[in-house]
Amino acid sequence: MAATHVALIRGINVGGNNAVSMPVLRTSLEAEGFAQVRTYINSGNVVLDAGASSPSAVNEAVASVLLRDFDVTTVVVTVTADALRRVVSDAPAGYGEDTEVFKHDVVFLRDNLDAQETFELVRLKEGIDEAWVGEQALYFRRLHSRLTGSYMGKIVALPQYKHMTIRNWRTTTTLAGMLDD
Reference 18, options 45, 43, 46; nearest CA is: 43
For residue 181, being part of any structural domain is answered with no
| pTM score | 0.94
Reference 105, options 155, 67, 63, 62; nearest CA is: 155
Reference 138, options 159, 162, 125, 155; nearest CA is: 155
Q: Give the residue-averaged pLDDT of 133-157.
A: 93
Distances 7 to 20, 46, 65, 71 between C-alpha atoms, Å: 14, 5, 12, 18
Instruction: Report pLDDT digits (tens) over 164-177.
Output: 999 999 999 999 99
Residues in a beta bridge with 165: 108
Domain boundary among 49, 64, 83: 83
Asked whether the predicted pLDDT for residue 1 surpasses 70, the reply is no
Asked whether the predicted pLDDT for residue 50 surpasses 80, the reply is yes
Structural domain harbouring 133 = 84-169
Q: Give the residue-averaged pLDDT of 130-154.
A: 93
Q: Looking at residue 111, which CATH number applies to its domain? A: 3.30.70.1260
Q: Give the residue-averaged pLDDT of 64-75.
A: 95
